Structure 1
């Protein structure tokens, strides 16, 4: 179980890091032209970069607390925050009719729920 939680947390952290770096450093016009990126055309560039920075923090929060054994409870807390982020993302993509993006968000949400549940219920990330 612990190995599965680590794998899921790692995959989620990788997704968060890539998404965060993309939103932080890729220009809004280029993001809007990508599949699932239409929402960026309706949002201020600073808000997009802000979301990107939050996703980078999420990537860090999903891994470092457990690796360093400093407040490992932050891993499932970060996973819960990721669930909330995915609910917002799904709402946005549904409004724009982007079904494939919603499907990806559902998968990320499910993985985050598993990491949160495993972290809280089994204290898997604590030493």
Structure 2
């Protein structure tokens, strides 16, 4: 069962690490101009950067505690936090009328995050 949870954890960690690094390292104006980043117009530069930092922390929280065995309870909490972030992203995209094209990607990540959160919580209990 542990290996079954490592695969979605790795997928989530890679996706959120890439997304978070992009949000924190790309200048705000350049980030807003990217395709599928129209939502950034509704947020301040600091808010977009904070979202990126949360994504990076979530990605690290998915992998490091479980891999090192140090506070492995952080892993399901990180997965739950990323699931909450994705749920909020769905609300923002729905409000902007952009949810339909993003739903396959966001929905898949949301399901993976929920599976990892529940699976790791059960295994670490």
- TM-score (normalizing by structure 2): 0.93
**Which residue of the partner structure matches residue 17 of structure 2?**
17
**Which residue of the partner structure matches residue 123 of structure 2?**
122
Structure 1 residue 107: Cα displacement = 0.7
Structure 1 residue 102: Cα displacement = 2.9
1:83 aligns with 2:83: yes
**Which residue of the partner structure matches residue 104 of structure 1?**
105
Structure 1 residue 92: Cα displacement = 0.6
25-34 or 62-71, larger mean C-alpha shift = 25-34
Structure 1 residue 16: Cα displacement = 0.9
Is the contact between residue 94 and residue 102 of structure 1 (CA under 8 Å) also seen in structure 2? no
Structure 2: runs of 5+ lacking an equivalent:
none
Aligned length: 124
Is the contact between residue 9 and residue 115 of structure 1 (CA under 8 Å) also seen in structure 2? yes
Note the aligned Cα RMSD (angstroms).
1.3
Residue by residue, what CA displacement relative to the aligned partner does 1:36-72 show, whole Å, maximum 9, x if unpaired? 2001112100110111111111111000001110010
47-56 or 101-110, larger mean C-alpha shift = 101-110
Paired with 1:112 and 1:27, the residues of 2 have a C-alpha distance of 28
Task: List structure 1 segments (4+ residues) > 3 angstroms apart after TM superposition.
Answer: none
**Which residue of the partner structure matches residue 63 of structure 1?**
63
Paired with 2:101 and 2:25, the residues of 1 have a C-alpha distance of 24
Residue by residue, what CA displacement relative to the aligned partner does 1:74-125 show, whole Å, maximum 9, x if unpaired? 10111011111001000111111222223311111100011011101223xx
Paired with 1:51 and 1:2, the residues of 2 have a C-alpha distance of 29
Paired with 2:86 and 2:49, the residues of 1 have a C-alpha distance of 17
